[in-house]
Amino acid sequence: MIELQNFYNAGFGWVCRRCEAALQKEDGEARARLLREGEAEGKNPRLSQTALARWADADRRTLVCPRCGASEKTE
């Protein structure tokens, strides 16, 4: 498995380490995951994992975090 400085593979996608730490401080894990993801709680539900990175290129060699802009090459 590839080990990166700014991202880690959580099994369902690459997660930005900086954003995950910042979001955990903000949220404090006070609410259950169901309340953050459920559709009945509001018109704009907040997903539990907002620190997921995206591929910046078609070759899937560079990851970028849409929240903080951190990027890193995987090779």
SS3 5: coil
The reported pLDDT for the residue numbered 21 is 85
Specify the pLDDT at position 60. Answer: 94
The pLDDT tens digits along the chain (75 residues) read: 688 999 999 888 999 999 988 887 776 555 555 555 555 555 665 556 678 999 999 999 999 999 999 999 998
User: 45 with 34: CB under 8 angstroms?
Assistant: no
Task: Note the pLDDT of residue 7.
Answer: 95
* pLDDT recorded at residue 22: 85
- Quick one: 56 exposed, middle or buried, by C-beta within 10 A (0-12, 13-18, 19+)? middle
Ranges of each domain in the chain: 7-73
